[in-house]
Each structure stands twice: as C-alpha cells, then as structure tokens.
C-alpha cells in the first residue's frame, strides 16, 4: 500500500475592512460633494488598475465599496469579474449578470460581447 497524504485545504484570506459599505455610510452621515468626488476618484484609480491588468469588475456599486476606519475606499466583490481576453465559462451570451440599477445598457440587455472597461466606468458614474 502506498502512502496516503492528507487532502489539500484550499483557502484565501482578506483584510478586514471595518468601516462599512459606502451606501450604508452615506445614509448614516451626510457626505459633501467634494468628499464624494474624492472617494469616486480613488475607486476610479482602482478600477483603472484592474483594467490595466485585463480585469473587468462588472458589478461596481456603492454596496461593493467598503470604507475603512480612515475613510479610504476599497473595491470588493470581484465575483462577476472576468478577464478581458477570455470569456468566462460562467458567462454565456444573453445572460445578464450584475446589479440592474448600476448596469450599463450593453450589460443590461445581456450583450456580453460588448461589455468592456467602459461598462465599469458607467458603473462608477451611476453612483
């Protein structure tokens, strides 16, 4: 009989972001237009970085932006993300994925071939 090895355990870890979701924070405390613009500019830089590395988020919305204790934004939930160059096996033509009120028109109609970095930019503007 051969040596049996223990089954592998696969896991990942994340930082704890303790400040809350942007939409919940904005409901609790008023935010100046300047502060809102600063937050979105920071998130836009994050989205740009992802795009430079060939990743589309496809579900940018206030609930997926967490603020830490210092008020810095963190874009989360890349569950619908996909590489620009390859179509995910999860995504099929005419399948609508995302959050309707923040979706770009091409995403809302299920035209996944037309989903691009512009789609994520639309999500930023929909805030």
Active site positions, annotated:
59
Q: Which DSSP symbol is given to 98?
A: S
User: CA separation (Å) from 81 to 2, 76, 77, 84, 94?
Assistant: 42, 11, 8, 9, 17
- The DSSP line for 79-90 is TT-EESSS--SS
Residue with tokens 């300047």: 34
Residue in the structure block whose two tokens are 């795009």: 51
């Amino acid at each position: 009989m051969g040596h049996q090895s223990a089954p592998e355990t696969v896991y990942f870890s994340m930082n704890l972001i303790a400040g809350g979701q942007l939409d919940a924070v904005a409901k609790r405390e008023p935010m100046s237009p300047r502060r809102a613009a600063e937050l979105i500019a920071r998130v836009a830089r994050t989205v740009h970085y992802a795009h430079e590395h060939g990743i589309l988020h496809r579900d940018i919305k206030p609930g997926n932006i967490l603020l830490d204790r210092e008020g810095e934004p963190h874009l989360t939930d890349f569950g619908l993300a996909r590489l620009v160059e390859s179509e995910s096996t999860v995504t099929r033509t005419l399948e609508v994925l995302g959050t309707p009120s923040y979706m770009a028109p091409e995403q809302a109609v299920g035209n996944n071939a037309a989903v691009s970095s512009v789609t994520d930019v639309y999500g930023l503007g929909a805030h």
